[in-house]
Amino acid sequence: MRVSGPGRPGGMAVLFAVLALALAALVPAAGAGELDRAGIARQFPPPLVVGEKDDALPVWPILKQQAGSYEVFAYAFESIDFAPIPGFGGTPPDLLIALAPDGNFRDVKVLSHREPVFLEGLGPEPLFAFVEQYAGLSARQPIRVGRPNARAAGASAQTTVDGIAMATASTRTINQSILASALAVARGKLGFGAANVGLSVEAKPDLFEPLGFDALLSRGWVRRLTVTRGEAARAFRGTGVEEGGEGAPGEAVVDLYVALLDVPSIGRNLLGAARHAALMHELGPGNHAVMVLSAGPADAAENPLGETFVLGSVPERVSVSQGGLVVNARDMAVERRGAGLGEGLPAGDWTILRIDSAAGFDPSAPWTLTDRIVRERGQILSEKIARDFSVETTLPGDLFARVAAQEGPDWTESWRARLPALAGIAGMLALLVPVLARRRGLVADARRFPAFRLAFLALTVGFVGYGAQAQLSIVTLMGLVRAVFRTHDFAFLLYDPPSLVLWAFVLASLVLWGRGTFCGWLCPFGAMQELVAWLARPLRIRQVAVPPRLDRPLRAVKYAVLAGLLAATAAGWPAADAMAEVEPFKTAITLSFLRSWPFVAYAVGLLALNLFVYKGFCRYLCPLGAGLALAGRLRVLDWIPRRAECGTPCQLCKVRCRYGAIAPDGRIDYPECFQCMECVTIIQDPGQCVPQVVARRHAKRIVPRPVPTR
């Protein structure tokens, strides 16, 4: 008699899926913006005006009337045109982004997405609120997705957006889509360099040359900005400001020395070795320090670092800029007592300004220090008039090295953030594999092994499911199908490290042992069902043994479900995502049952079913289980021990296998075996295994003999 499994109905379903996949390959890849000018205009209503679409890029200038003429308010574009990064559902989200000419986000809106967690479950509102956080942030900075309420907990509001619980992978993908597309537009339209994209430029720490102050000045490594009274007067000419004073026209009203201290040949020579080492330690990797020293004009009130300068603040008068954009630089309030500055420096007030790595500052490119002189015009209701005086610094490129930015691509942050979860999963796998592999060890202990299994399943629900959010799902397979046939981008897998690690293990275990290592031990919903099923005995509920004539066709249903889902996905049917709800994982695990009642009722109903039909969902409906069962047919080992007497005449294991995975002839049906190891415990137990019991009665010793299985 044949063991039931993916017989003809399942095989037909798979054939149907393959045909549908082949047809779907003819469907063009997804990923182009859909808004025309009228659509953009609806998003940016009057008084804003939509200009002509850019000739080279799919970007629309949004114009605003200002003093009789139009100026660019923002550049509007769809993220999918520049960074079609597939989301968790395998389809790229499409966001409408408005980027101001200074590189700040004016607005970000969601046009479309297929992120499962926002389609159903959490609903779209948290996603809308998530993208609203970008307004006002700068595309120059590597914006990260923090934990929920990360900003309130002290994370930088300039470089962090609050994440959403239960949607970590989706929000990181959306963040990456926003940043990558904004940077592409910023480079194309705003002249952004590539310095802040993936690489950071840092001074070579071991390159040092002893140089005196004059040598640094003559090389241009320390720059000087002087403004004489006469130059200032000329700058304010025609403004009504009376520039003059008591000094001579050639007398300096501003006398600043400017130097980038993170270059050792500059910083160490100016500060001395000990102070420079302390400064670098305080500065931290990737950040930059600019020293501004005022040699003290005759008039103390003119000194930008004099009486009005506040330690630890962003200076009012001096600023650092690069590429026409001001870089945030703040006084480090370093200790000014103790070791003095290096030899030869002029006396005067000084500050060391810290430039954070997030500013995208490239010290190997020209940068500018500006001093703003402000004068007042009029005595009553006086008006402030400002004039800027600047000095540019260009340092040799060989003083610097381009190193991978600390944060790396956005997905590396996911891996860093999920390290504890990864360590926990690795620990569980390290525990499980030897237990299963050593079939004469714990598995053979009829008393301790069930307790171990119960505890492990509880850990799978609590840690793998709710803690690490690593419930593998058919949605990932659907995402893979979309990637193969439509988007050709598999990067979405990298944003969910615990699941990816688990997938890697499952693939390896499929090839060696079959589907059961995951389904019997590591699937949180599967474990939850099993725990519910355990309650049947204390609740005195008698579970139903599904008769074979019903069991066989029912088992084929899961293969048909799998085929339908993959075919719908490959064909790009919008209903595919809704069809994936046949899997209750999102409701039960991802959203912890916090969902509308029909979904909760479905998930709870499937769990309750286990009180009557053991693991009914797994055996008859689960598309992921079906996929794993099919892939498990590649299994290379027949590793579950059998005896010659299994099946003929002994039927004990077959009767005790609650998954119906042992054929009447004693062979294991691996696609249906959940590796609960009950039959292994029996076969190793001389008190349970019938041939051994009989042999003992006859004082014989029987050695297990492997029997070929299908």
- In the complex with ligand SF4, the residue whose CB is nearer, 213 or 503, is 503
- In the complex with ligand SF4, the residue whose CB is nearer, 164 or 606, is 606
User: Which one of the spans 290-298, 344-352, 531-539, 668-676 is the region binding ligand SF4 (CB under 6 A)?
Assistant: 668-676
Kind and range of the H or E run holding 403: strand 400-404
Return the residue matching tokens 């100016």.
270
Q: Should residue 94 be labelled a site residue for ligand SF4 when binding is judged by CB under 6 A?
A: no
Counting every residue, how long is the chain?
710
Q: State the nearest-atom distance from the C-beta of 660 to ligand SF4, in Å.
A: 8
Positive or negative CA dihedral for 562, 524, 501, 506?
A: negative
| Distance from C-alpha of 58 to C-alpha of 77, rounded to nearest angstrom | 6
Query: Interhelix angle for 419-437 vs 410-417, to 10°?
Result: 60
- In the complex with ligand SF4, the residue whose CB is nearer, 135 or 601, is 601
Q: State the nearest-atom distance from the C-beta of 478 to ligand SF4, in Å.
A: 14
Q: Which residues of 455-477 are buried (b: 16+ CB within 10 A; e: fewer)?
A: ebbebbbebbbbbbbbbbbbbbb
- In the complex with ligand SF4, the residue whose CB is nearer, 7 or 572, is 7
Q: Count residues contacting ligand SF4 (CB under 6 A)?
A: 22
Q: State the nearest-atom distance from the C-beta of 533 to ligand SF4, in Å.
A: 12
Task: Determine contact, residues 269/308, Cβ cutoff 8 Å.
Answer: no
Tokens of 356: 């954070």
Cα–Cα distances in angstroms (integers) from residue 599 to residues 269, 306, 608, 615, in the given order: 69, 67, 14, 19
Q: State the nearest-atom distance from the C-beta of 432 to ligand SF4, in Å.
A: 14
Task: Determine contact, residues 100/74, Cβ cutoff 8 Å.
Answer: yes
The set of residues, in sequence order, having a beta carbon less than 8 Å from that of 39 and lying 6+ positions away, is: none
- In the complex with ligand SF4, the residue whose CB is nearer, 181 or 529, is 529
Q: State the nearest-atom distance from the C-beta of 433 to ligand SF4, in Å.
A: 16
Q: What sections of 313-418 are H helices per DSSP? A: 410-417
Q: State the nearest-atom distance from the C-beta of 426 to ligand SF4, in Å.
A: 21
State the binding string over 507-536 for ligand SF4 (x if CB under 6 A, else -).
Answer: ------------x---x-xx----------
- In the complex with ligand SF4, the residue whose CB is nearer, 315 or 623, is 623
State the binding string over 609-638 for ligand SF4 (x if CB under 6 A, else -).
Answer: --------xx---x-xx-------------
Binding ligand SF4 by CB under 6 A: which of 3, 661, 663, 683?
Answer: 661
Cα–Cα distances in angstroms (integers) from residue 199 to residues 29, 193, 362, in the given order: 31, 11, 10
Q: By C-alpha distance, which of 496, 487, 490 is closest to 84? A: 487
Q: Should residue 116 be labelled a site residue for ligand SF4 when binding is judged by CB under 6 A?
A: no
- In the complex with ligand SF4, the residue whose CB is nearer, 181 or 569, is 569
- In the complex with ligand SF4, the residue whose CB is nearer, 40 or 661, is 661
Kind and range of the H or E run holding 476: helix 474-482
Binding ligand SF4 by CB under 6 A: which of 80, 253, 679, 689?
Answer: 679
Task: Map 147-204 to HEC letters.
Answer: CCCCCCCCCCCCCEECCCCCCHHHHHHHHHHHHHHHHHHHHHHHCCCCCCCCEEEEEC
| Distance from C-alpha of 683 to C-alpha of 681, rounded to nearest angstrom | 6
Binding ligand SF4 by CB under 6 A: which of 178, 271, 676, 689?
Answer: 676
- In the complex with ligand SF4, the residue whose CB is nearer, 183 or 510, is 510
Q: Should residue 183 be labelled a site residue for ligand SF4 when binding is judged by CB under 6 A?
A: no
Q: Should residue 657 be labelled a site residue for ligand SF4 when binding is judged by CB under 6 A?
A: yes
Binding ligand SF4 by CB under 6 A: which of 159, 674, 689, 709?
Answer: 674
Residues 26-85 that bind ligand SF4 (CB under 6 A): none
Ramachandran assignment for 574, one of left (phi > 0), alpha (psi -120 to 50 degrees), beta (any other): alpha
Is residue 141 exposed (0-12), middle (13-18) or buried (19+ Cβ within 10 Å)?
buried
Q: Should residue 668 be labelled a site residue for ligand SF4 when binding is judged by CB under 6 A?
A: yes
In this structure, which amino acid lies at residue 440? R
Q: Should residue 673 be labelled a site residue for ligand SF4 when binding is judged by CB under 6 A?
A: yes
Q: Should residue 677 be labelled a site residue for ligand SF4 when binding is judged by CB under 6 A?
A: yes
Q: State the nearest-atom distance from the C-beta of 579 to ligand SF4, in Å.
A: 16
- In the complex with ligand SF4, the residue whose CB is nearer, 92 or 526, is 526
- In the complex with ligand SF4, the residue whose CB is nearer, 358 or 624, is 624
SS3 358: helix
- In the complex with ligand SF4, the residue whose CB is nearer, 40 or 472, is 472
Q: State the nearest-atom distance from the C-beta of 440 to ligand SF4, in Å.
A: 15
* Contacting positions for ligand SF4 (CB under 6 A): 519, 523, 525-526, 617-618, 622, 624-625, 640, 657, 659, 661-662, 668, 673-679
